[in-house]
Amino acid sequence: MMIEPEVFSFFKLLAQNNNRPWFHENKKSYANVRQNIVDFSNDMESRLNLTDSIELGKLFRINRDVRFSKDKSPYKSNISGYFKRLGEERRGSYYFSFQPGNTFIGGGFYGPNKEDTFRIRKEFETDDTINTIVDASDFKNYFGELIGEGVATAPRGFDKDHPNIHWIRKKQWYVLRKFTDEQVLDASFVDEVHKTYLAVRPFFDYMSEVLATNLDGESIL
């Protein structure tokens, strides 16, 4: 399957007309766009299930939550979703977002809970496997680096001079690969997305092993 040009043309117009009357008048166009992305999601979920186990694929709502935002625009400027992996033994989620000039594919850990965050940090404090993963050629070719927000210096209880402090101080760990609009509309795009998700797997597999064990390496599942 292919991503249709209407995906980008719709969101370009929406950016200029982000209001409810315009959206209501163009609901049919949005329905076409959404169905195209649903088809993409279904195709990708089938591909992922060849080598992984996906619990669900989900699209985010286009409506914005404006309750605490100064920007009261009612609609998002992109269409996005994710694939949640099945079971506690498989951690990490695959992510996608389509937007004119800002489409990206990725995955990782965007908002881990307090316990998972501490467990990940302790692993990075005692083990260097994460460096091997992010230094691998496939990882660098597809993503460049592991990214995510973090605390300013060192989390409480961790040495600010630790060799892995750049990983330890993070509170998110994820990857992104950006695509131009031309790349998205190319016939090879869906294959490239699948290859990109496959390149995330060594990271996911390692993190899954970490989060399925305690600090002594014993299973907690």
**C-beta neighbour count of 181 within 10 angstroms:** 18
At 112, give phi and psi (nearest 5°): -65, 150
pTM of the predicted model, to two decimals? 0.94
- Per-residue confidence (pLDDT) for residue 43, from 0 to 100: 98
Please identify which residue in the block is written with the tokens 């390149």.
199
Q: Does position 1 have pLDDT exceeding 90, yes or no?
A: no
Q: Does position 140 have pLDDT exceeding 90, yes or no?
A: yes
Asked if residue 171 lies in contact with residue 149, where contact means CB atoms within 8 angstroms, the answer is yes
Q: Does position 216 have pLDDT exceeding 90, yes or no?
A: no
Mean pLDDT of the chain: 96
Arithmetic mean of pLDDT, 149-155: 95
At 18, give phi and psi (nearest 5°): -85, 80
Q: Does position 66 have pLDDT exceeding 90, yes or no?
A: no
d(CA 195, CA 180) in angstroms, rounded, equals 17
Q: Does position 184 have pLDDT exceeding 90, yes or no?
A: yes
With 0-12 CB in 10 A as exposed, 13-18 as middle and 19+ as buried, what is 133? middle
Rg (CA), the chain: 19
* Residues whose CB is less than 8 angstroms from the CB of residue 164 and which lie 6 or more positions away in sequence, other chains included: 124, 125, 128, 130, 131
- Per-residue confidence (pLDDT) for residue 70, from 0 to 100: 85
What is the DSSP pairing of strand 79-85 with strand 93-98?
antiparallel
- Per-residue confidence (pLDDT) for residue 58, from 0 to 100: 96
- Per-residue confidence (pLDDT) for residue 215, from 0 to 100: 87
Quickly list H helices, 3-136: 6-16, 20-25, 27-48, 114-126, 129-135
Residue 217 pLDDT grade (very low, low, confident, very high; cuts 50, 70, 90): confident
Closest CA relative to residue 107, chosen from 199, 14, 10: 199
d(CA 128, CA 162) in angstroms, rounded, equals 12
Arithmetic mean of pLDDT, 111-133: 96
Q: Does position 165 have pLDDT exceeding 90, yes or no?
A: yes
- Per-residue confidence (pLDDT) for residue 166, from 0 to 100: 96
Helix/strand/coil percent split, the chain, to 5 = 45, 20, 40
- Per-residue confidence (pLDDT) for residue 127, from 0 to 100: 93
**What are the pLDDT digits (tens) for 76-113?**
999 999 999 999 999 999 999 999 999 999 999 999 99
- Per-residue confidence (pLDDT) for residue 189, from 0 to 100: 98
95 membership: H or E segment, kind and range = strand 93-98
Q: Does position 68 have pLDDT exceeding 90, yes or no?
A: no
Lowest mean pLDDT among 60-69, 71-80, 157-166, 168-177: 60-69
Which option is the CATH number for 6-211: 1.10.3210, 3.30.56, 3.40.50, 3.30.930?
3.30.930
